[in-house]
Each structure stands twice: as structure tokens, then as C-alpha cells.
């Protein structure tokens, strides 16, 4: 049996794609009130939104098009491309929670990460993937996973201390390249 490269599963939202900026932009458009741009450590976006507007965030994320034009996280393209030399890189997104995101996410990946082939893209619910390393901002995706877990910093996870953390893609490169 041939030796295979170690496999990395890379999450999309808040790791290579930036939905938080999009939330803020839509919220400002609809309410004319700037959402606090600095989400407090430990908070989700919805913690910064008044009660009557919380459902609006849910509507945004379920709308067709929400995921189509998200900003790309800085340096993620270059680092993922470089990781491919040493690793088998998979994009693993829990896209099934938002069925309207499937096509958007696929097209977004084709635009920004054309070097990731269809064989290496996984849209799922539970992340039951057989890989060696996971890069993710949600610790629920580390559950039952015995490989190396890199917690990608996002406001909501900043208070967690029990995980190996990466704050940006330059740090991922330092650790894995």
C-alpha cells in the first residue's frame, strides 16, 4: 500500500470565508445602526443584536446568495496552495445546515480556490471525516476526533483555552509548513 500524504480538513466559515463582515454589512443596510464591529470575546454575532432583530440574522444566512460573495480570509489562498505540496487538503463545510448555501459555496470555492478539485470538497452535517488534522473554529467539530485539532480564532471561541490555537493563516503556515 502506498504511503499517502497526511490529510487536512479545512472549515469554510470564519476560517477561509468571512461571514461576519457580511452579517455586519447587511445589518447596517437594513437597520442603519452600525453593529459593533468588534465582537466581544466569547460572543456570537447574535449577542450584539437586539432581541427583535435576532431572527433577521437567521434570515440572512438562509437567503440564497449570502455565501456567494463572502470575503476571503487573508492569506488563506496562498497557504492552502502551499499546504497541498505536503498534505492532501480537503475543504469540509457543514453546508447542509443551510441548503441554500450549497451552490453558493461551490461557486465561491471555484472562484477563489480553483486548485481544490471536486474530489476534495465535502459538504456535510456532522464532520465524520477520516483525516489527520482539522482546522476549524467550532470545537463541536473536534468531538470524537483523535487527530490534531487547530482551533482557528474567531470571536466566539476566544475564551477557550484547552486547544492548540491559530490566529491567522500565517500561523497555520508556521505550524504546518
Yes or no: say if 48 and 36 are a contact pair by the CB < 8 Å rule. yes
Toward a copy of itself, which CB reaches closer, 78 or 97?
97
- On whether the CB atoms of residues 95 and 66 are closer than 8 A, the answer is no
Give min distance, CB of 5 to a copy of itself, in A.
13
Least Å from the CB of residue 150 to a copy of itself: 18
Q: Which residues contact 79 (CB under 8 A, 6 or more apart)?
A: 169, 170, 172, 173, 177
Q: Cell numbers of 115, please?
A: 486548485
- Residue pair 14/154 in contact (Cβ under 8 Å)? The answer is yes
Residue with smaller CB distance to a copy of itself, 123 or 163: 123
Let me know if 69 is a catalytic residue. no
**Stretch of 27-35, 37-45, 94-102, 163-171 contacting a copy of itself, by CB under 8 A:** 94-102
Tell me the closest approach of the beta carbon of residue 65 to a copy of itself, in angstroms: 14
Q: How crowded is the C-beta side of 83, counted as CA atoms within 13 Å? A: 29
Name which of residues 21 to 80 contact a copy of itself (CB under 8 A).
none
DSSP 133: E
13 is catalytic: yes
Query: What is the widest separation between alpha-carbon atoms in the chain?
Result: 60
The minimum distance between CB 110 and a copy of itself, in angstroms, equals 8
Catalytic residues: 11, 13
Binding residues for a copy of itself (CB under 8 A): 4, 7, 90, 95-97, 99, 102-103, 106-107, 110, 117-126, 128-131, 144
Amino acid at each position: 500500500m502506498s504511503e499517502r500524504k497526511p490529510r487536512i480538513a479545512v472549515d469554510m466559515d470564519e476560517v477561509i470565508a468571512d461571514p461576519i463582515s457580511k452579517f455586519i454589512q447587511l445589518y447596517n443596510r437594513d437597520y442603519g445602526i452600525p453593529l459593533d464591529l468588534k465582537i466581544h470575546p466569547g460572543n456570537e454575532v447574535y449577542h450584539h443584536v437586539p432581541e427583535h432583530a435576532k431572527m433577521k440574522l437567521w434570515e440572512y444566512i438562509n437567503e440564497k446568495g449570502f455565501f456567494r460573495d463572502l470575503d476571503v480570509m487573508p492569506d488563506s489562498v496562498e497557504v492552502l496552495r502551499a499546504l497541498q505540496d505536503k498534505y492532501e487538503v480537503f475543504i469540509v463545510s457543514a453546508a447542509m445546515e443551510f441548503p441554500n448555501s450549497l451552490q453558493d459555496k461551490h461557486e465561491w470555492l471555484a472562484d477563489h480556490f480553483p486548485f481544490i478539485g471536486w474530489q476534495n470538497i465535502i459538504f456535510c452535517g456532522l464532520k465524520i471525516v477520516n483525516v489527520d488534522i482539522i482546522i476549524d473554529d467550532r470545537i463541536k467539530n473536534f468531538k470524537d476526533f483523535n487527530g490534531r485539532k487547530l482551533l482557528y480564532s474567531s470571536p466566539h471561541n476566544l475564551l477557550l483555552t484547552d486547544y492548540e490555537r491559530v490566529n491567522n493563516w500565517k500561523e497555520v503556515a508556521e505550524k504546518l509548513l
